[in-house]
Amino acid sequence: MTHPWPIAITGLGCICAAGTNLDDCMETLYSGRRAPAAPTRFTSSHPTRYPVFEVSGFNEPPELLRTSALGLHAVRDALADAGLDLETLRGLRVGVCVGTTVGSAMNNEQFCRDYRAGLDPDLEPIERIMRSNPAAVIAREFGLTGPCQTVVNACASGTDAVGLAASWIRGGVCDVAIAGGADELGRITYNGFISLMITDDSPCKPFDRNRKGLNLGEGAAMLVLESEETRTKRRSRARSYLLGYGSACDAHHLTAPKPDGEGLRYAIAEAFSCCGISAEAVSFVNAHGTGTPDNDRVESLVLADLLPGVPFLSTKGYTGHTLGAAGAIEAVFTIACLERGMIPGSAGFSTPDPDLGGTPVEGSTKVEGMVALSESLAFGGNNSVILLGTRGAA
């Protein structure tokens, strides 16, 4: 049993450096504001201070990882948006599919330091990780009975989680799926990305000739996906539609994208094939656009080839690269932009790069049409693409 595409999206929630809810985020994006700064929540002995996009004014409870707490925050907004209260949820089979990079990793620096120093460290940091699996935390908090999946496809996790949740709905695995991504900033990823020499020591400049790399960010976004039977039964409105999902692996290199973007091309083609949508129908592309020399080159060349003339932007100039959350945050932004018929300028871009396939939009730009594409490229050569549409697109 496989239900046809598209899949209705009935709720959205988002928290990142641009704002603690979706409306605030969009206001920040359209105003062009961004304020990456040196990390305040942790220190580093690195001689250069690399700016990051922290979520300010958000404190996680001591028993949970910040990642999972950010995820819960976004879920609450998404459920409220979908009009799903605890009682309604209890009568449905609800699955949870969440992308992350650090949310399920047995990675606690202080524990490791103490252990290596010959101490018997307190187990609480490890126990906190064990009780903070991002998908399981959400299921537990809301008493959900369906499958739980924490997707760890590196920087494509958020996009994949949304696409996989759609396939669960299509297969009748659950009535409703909460899907998205969550990740927190920390010393491990901070030092890791600096060591790969793909981190910019100034605010990131996606698709710009002088781009030097990414800035890290943190946050979470969640989408509520719903089967048509459930929607009919509870008379909920579709805020948007997921019109397609595609993913493919470059099978090329652990950390570098394939120069010809082969995997990305396959992923885009697969996403288009789901609803039989053509490139002409796409009004804009929310690109991965990390600001690293390699990513932006490959991505822009593929876009120039497959979606020539379609406006594109990266919102990472406003949020930083939120890793496992990025695909979900960008999916939510994409829907909000479609609803408003307007995309923000691609922050950080000023100088065109002749080696790229094109230039992103500068300043808020009106867009027409009902369909947009959001894409993620990740470590390991994972490429994931989703097509999103307005209510009228289905």
Partner 1 sequence: MMRIAVKGIGVTGGFGCGVADLAAALKGGISRVSEITVPSAQGPLQMPAFRAETERLDEFVPKRALRRIDHYSKMGLLGAYLALADGGMLGSDLSRLGVVVASGYGATATTFAFLDSIIGDGDICASPTHFANSVHNSAAANISIMLGAKGPSLTVSQFDMSVPSALVSASQWLAEGRVDAVLFGAIDEVSDLIGYLQHRQRGPQRACPISPLSTGEESSIIGEGAAFLLLTRKDDSLAYCTIETVDTGSLYQEELSFPDDALLLLGADGRRELGARYRATVPGHSRVACYTSIYGSMPAAAAFDLAAAALILQNGRVYPIPGAAGCDMDGIPVPLETTRICALKLAGINEYAAVTLSRLQLP
Partner 2 sequence: MDIKNKLKKILVEDLNLEELTPEQIDDNAPLFGEGLGLDSLDAVELVVLVQKHFGIEIKDMEEGRTAFQSVNALAAYIEGRLAQ
Question: Which of the residues 335 through 364 are near partner 1 (CB under 8 A)?
Answer: none
| Segments of 167-238 assigned E as strands | 176-183, 216-217, 219-226
Q: Which does 227 bind (CB under 5 to 8 A by kind): partner 1, partner 2, none?
A: none
State the Cα–Cα distance between residues 237 and 11, nearest whole angstrom: 9
Q: Which does 319 bind (CB under 5 to 8 A by kind): partner 1, partner 2, none?
A: none
* CB of 56 or CB of 255, closer to partner 1: 255
Q: Confirm if 215 and 36 have CB atoms less than 8 A apart.
A: yes
In angstroms, the Cα distances linking 11 to 32, 176, 287, 372 are: 25, 11, 22, 18
Q: Confirm if 359 and 135 have CB atoms less than 8 A apart.
A: no
- Is residue 278 left, alpha or beta, with left meaning phi > 0 and alpha meaning psi from -120 to 50? beta
Q: Which does 256 bind (CB under 5 to 8 A by kind): partner 1, partner 2, none?
A: partner 2
233 to 252, contacts with partner 1 by CB under 8 A? 247-252
Q: Is 174 a catalytic residue?
A: no
**Among residues 139, 225, 328, 377, the one that binds partner 1 under rule CB under 8 A:** 139
* CB of 25 or CB of 139, closer to partner 1: 139
Q: Where are the alpha helices (DSSP H) in 86-183?
A: 86-90, 109-116, 124-130, 134-142, 157-170
190 to 219, contacts with partner 1 by CB under 8 A? 191-197
State the Cα–Cα distance between residues 77 and 209, nearest whole angstrom: 38
Out of 148, 174, 321, 337, pick the active-site residue. 321
Q: Is 46 a catalytic residue?
A: no
* CB of 30 or CB of 266, closer to partner 1: 266
- Decide: is 38 part of the binding site for partner 1 (CB under 8 A): no
State the Cα–Cα distance between residues 246 and 267, nearest whole angstrom: 4
- Decide: is 392 part of the binding site for partner 1 (CB under 8 A): no
* CB of 2 or CB of 278, closer to partner 1: 2
Instruction: Please state the closest distance from residue 218 (CB atom) to partner 2, in A.
Output: 24
State the Cα–Cα distance between residues 362 and 244, nearest whole angstrom: 28
Residue identified by tokens 């799903």 is: 84
**Among residues 116, 235, 354, 392, the one that binds partner 1 under rule CB under 8 A:** 116
Number of residues that bind partner 1 (CB under 8 A): 75
State the Cα–Cα distance between residues 206 and 212, nearest whole angstrom: 9
Instruction: Please state the closest distance from residue 255 (CB atom) to partner 2, in A.
Output: 5
CB burial of 16-52 (b: ≥16 within 10 Å; e: otherwise) equals bbbbbebeebbebbbeeebebeebeeeeeeeeeebbb
Which x/- pattern, by CB under 8 A, does the window 84-113 give for partner 1?
---------x-x-----x--xxxx-x--xx
* CB of 104 or CB of 295, closer to partner 2: 295
Selection from 291, 303, 312 nearest residue 383 by Cα: 303
Which residues contact partner 2 (rule: CB under 8 A)?
Answer: 47, 195-197, 212, 253-256
**Among residues 130, 229, 308, 363, the one that binds partner 1 under rule CB under 8 A:** 130
- β partners of residue 347: none
* CB of 249 or CB of 256, closer to partner 2: 256
Q: Cβ of 110: how many Cβ atoms within 10 Å?
A: 11
Q: Is 321 a catalytic residue?
A: yes
Residue identified by tokens 């010959």 is: 118
Residue identified by tokens 């906190």 is: 128
Interface segment toward partner 1; rule CB under 8 A; list 73-81, 136-144, 210-218, 330-338: 136-144
Q: Which does 150 bind (CB under 5 to 8 A by kind): partner 1, partner 2, none?
A: partner 1
Instruction: Please state the closest distance from residue 323 (CB atom) to partner 2, in A.
Output: 18
* CB of 19 or CB of 257, closer to partner 2: 257
Q: Which does 88 bind (CB under 5 to 8 A by kind): partner 1, partner 2, none?
A: none
Residues recognised as catalytic: 155, 288, 321
